[in-house]
Amino acid sequence: MKLKLAIALALAAMSAQAAEPWMDKSLSADKRAELALQAMTQQEKLRWVLGHFGSDFANKTKKHPAALPFSAGYIEGVPRLGLPALFETDAGLGVATQATKTPRERTSLPSGLATTATWNRELAYQGGAMIGAEARASGFNVMLAGGVNLLREPRNGRNFEYAGEDPLLAGTMVAQQVKGIQSNNIIATMKHYAVNDQETGRFVVDARLDDASNRMSDLLAFQFLMEQADPGSVMCSYNRLNGVYACENDYLLNQVLKKDWGYKGYVMTDWGATHSTVESANAGLDQQSGWEFDKSQYFGGALEEAVTNGHVSQARFDNMVFRVLRAMFDKGVVDNPVAEGGAIDYTAHNLVSRADAEEGMVLLKNAGNVLPLKAGAKKIVIIGAHADVGVLAGGGSSLVYPIGGNAVPGIAPTSWPGPVVYHPSSPMKAIQARAPGAQVVFNDGSDPGAAAQAAAGADVVLVFAQQWVGEALDAVSLALPDNQDALIGAVAKANPKTVVVLETSGPVLMPWVDQAAGILQAWYPGTSGGEAIARVLFGEVNPSGHLPATFPASESQLPRPKLDGDPKNEAVRFTVNYHEGAAVGYKWFDLKGLKPLFPFGHGLSYTQFAYSGLTANQKDGKLSVSFKITNTGAVKGKDVPQLYVSPLNAKWEAPKRLAGWDKVELAPGESKQVSVTVDPRLLGMFDSRSKTWRIAKGGYKVLLAHDAADAKAASITVQLPQRTLNVAGK
Ligand code: GLC
């Protein structure tokens, strides 16, 4: 009987296999996609290239009935063939919800800049794995994360979603997050491809950047990410690049991404970034997202007609569908169907977010070792930024609504890209818990005079300063808003033991930098941000964050002192000329001999680290660097030794480039030997005509530094042979 049953089951399985050969897991993703495509009708193919919004949109259209409520998007599947629909959620900080009164509440990571400021690849991976797990448990199989636009513009309203100014650091760190997300058998993206580096006029701006400079900066961050994490999808951006919309840009989509880099996934648009049927399909676009934001369903009936009439070949159309299907098989979406209501261990997830937040905090200044806070403090005064009840989050599509609701509801703007949200993780409560014997006083900071009075006589004063920004807008300036500079100045004058805790999207100016004894950059610290801040302030965690972006001393130092475009008139097309080329951030400061307020890579610790024994050698042009790092202080801590390379004669876009780093934890007195291999593309210049990286023969200085302005950096010179490498650096 058993034998008969076994045979019957085997036959059933075989016949099912025969009926749906694409479900055979032993086959490659390519083969499975090919088989599934062959089984589809034209109408079924069309489903994969048209994305629907997952929310009601400005009473223009109703969300797709099958989309998850208040979600980013939905793509119909083909149930007949066992191929699931795609349920899309934002974004890189966790499971976001489109603005609504009934949001799904989930765990929020700290900002992307905070994760990058950890320089810790494992933490970035764990954060991605955590938010990807919450996406899957919430019924989503596509997570619109992977934001990696370079921080060219320190006022960009979305810097908090991204990973700073250096392509190696940004590409590497976001790649780890994308790998973490995709470890949940869901598709992640990389976005916004490409050179979408400011929010002002994002729908109409024409970004001007030459090919070689782009390949060595913005595109290099995407290339590193793609190579290291293989995101299932790429989201093309709203802006034009060199006169052509990114989502119908043959250079970006067909030439660079698919041909030069060999990308095998699919290209989806941003929501409202599709402008044509034939041009965009033939330029390499594969899927229109959120068609309700566009003028029409370019990839609906219009595409069917274009294929019927040969304006878009059947082969191109089939390839569009193939790429979506291949990503679904490759990332495990077909074999692991999602469902809502999966279990989420919020306690464990809060700890993941907290670990990321506290390791991403950057101790910018610590005069007189005002930090860590001393036990036995009698009076601690806390001022500003609603630090009595919560910590700030950024606005827009990446906003993760907090479990427990907004700690400070009702702050304008209350509509998109608002609401302004504070995660209900109170720094004050966390501080009180760590200073049981102290009198802890809160002042809201609305009146600098009153705040200064409250501050006088305290053992220590903690002024929390905030800067809310969000998608679709840029900070009007790098100055802290709402008179906070005057507040900080008044308080620091009243009490020299003043520590400023910053909750900002990115770089800000600090006219009070000499008056404040301590400065801690906490970014947007996420779900457990209050706890994380207190743990760092009290030394339970030794700060080890390092700046992923240069903090300018003034806006006059920037390549564009004044932001281009007019936020009051976003309909008029304008150009941003990225004349700095690949000299982004610290490279620009080096090139122009400018002294920033705080340099890229800067970050203090409660202990000290020394570097020694720097050696560098090259074999067939492959540069390897080795050195020893020692904790010379009295407490355990982590450090980020940074390697920069600077050509003695060759002409680069700037004097030096970040070529590698490590994150090392050491006990007092402990040493560790570190070795780093340098990606050869970081040693050469990209040549557009030949599409090769060219390393000039000659001497190169290798610097081992604490930050990009480390005047005492150890250095060694190494001779490199001339080399010509292909686009992939081989
Ligand atoms: C937004 C954003 C993009 C997001 C998408 C869906 O406008 O630019 O990052 O993933 O639309 O919400």
pLDDT digits (tens, 9 = 90+) for 478-528: 999 999 999 999 999 999 999 999 999 999 999 999 999 999 999 999 999
- Rounding to the nearest 10 degrees, give the CA dihedral for residues 598, 599, 602, 604: -30
Those residues of the chain that have pLDDT short of 70 are 16, 59
For residue 701 the two structure tokens come to 């200085």
Q: Is the CB of 89 under 6 A from ligand 1?
A: no
Probe ligand 1: pick from 56, 233, 271, max atoms within 8 Å of CB? 271
Q: What single letter denotes the amino acid at residue 74?
A: Y
Q: Is the CB of 91 under 6 A from ligand 1?
A: yes
Using the mean position of ligand 1's atoms as its centre, give its distance from the Cα of residue 296 in Å.
Answer: 18
Using the mean position of ligand 1's atoms as its centre, give its distance from the Cα of residue 191 in Å.
Answer: 9
Q: Is the CB of 53 under 6 A from ligand 1?
A: no
Q: Is the CB of 642 under 6 A from ligand 1?
A: no
Q: Is 354-541 in the same CATH topology as 40-330?
A: no
> CA of 663: how far to CAs of 117, 359, 447, 666, 672, in Å?
11, 11, 42, 10, 11
* DSSP notation for 379-396: EEEEESTTTTT-EE--BS
Return the pLDDT at 237. Answer: 98
Q: Is the CB of 421 under 6 A from ligand 1?
A: no
How many other CB atoms are there within 10 angstroms of residue 75's CB atom?
A: 25
Probe ligand 1: pick from 75, 89, 144, 161, max atoms within 8 Å of CB? 144
Return the pLDDT at 488. Answer: 98
Beta-carbon contacts of residue 723 (< 8 Å; ≥ 6 apart): 621, 680, 684, 694, 695
Using the mean position of ligand 1's atoms as its centre, give its distance from the Cα of residue 529 in Å.
Answer: 25
Residue 547's nearest CA partner among 112, 177, 197, 119 is 119
Return the pLDDT at 18. Answer: 75
Write down the CATH number for the domain with range 354-541.
3.40.50.1700
Q: Is the CB of 172 under 6 A from ligand 1?
A: no
**Distance (Å, rounded) from C-alpha 704 to C-alpha 612?**
9
Probe ligand 1: pick from 57, 63, 70, 90, max atoms within 8 Å of CB? 90
Q: Is the CB of 497 under 6 A from ligand 1?
A: no
Q: So which residues are the catalytic ones?
A: 270
CATH fold group of domain 40-330: TIM Barrel (3.20.20)
**Distance (Å, rounded) from C-alpha 190 to C-alpha 528?**
26
Using the mean position of ligand 1's atoms as its centre, give its distance from the Cα of residue 397 in Å.
Answer: 6
Q: Is the CB of 292 under 6 A from ligand 1?
A: no
**Distance (Å, rounded) from C-alpha 405 to C-alpha 397?**
17
For residues 531 and 354, the answer to whether their CB atoms sit within 8 Å is yes
Probe ligand 1: pick from 52, 397, 400, max atoms within 8 Å of CB? 397
Using the mean position of ligand 1's atoms as its centre, give its distance from the Cα of residue 380 in Å.
Answer: 42
Return the pLDDT at 618. Answer: 93
Q: Atom 4 in ligand 1: which residue has the minimum CA distance?
A: 397
Strands 642-647 and 698-705 come out as antiparallel
CATH fold group of domain 607-725: Immunoglobulin-like (2.60.40)
Using the mean position of ligand 1's atoms as its centre, give its distance from the Cα of residue 576 in Å.
Answer: 22
Closest ligand 1 atom to residue 91 Cα is: 10
Q: Is the CB of 199 under 6 A from ligand 1?
A: no
For residues 208 and 564, the answer to whether their CB atoms sit within 8 Å is no
How many other CB atoms are there within 10 angstroms of residue 6's CB atom?
A: 10
**Distance (Å, rounded) from C-alpha 680 to C-alpha 725?**
8
Q: What is the pTM of this model?
A: 0.97
Determine the Cα angle at 24 with ends 18 and 28, to 5°: 130
For residues 542 and 376, the answer to whether their CB atoms sit within 8 Å is no
Q: Is the CB of 144 under 6 A from ligand 1?
A: yes
Domain ranges of the chain: 1-35, 40-330, 354-541, 607-725
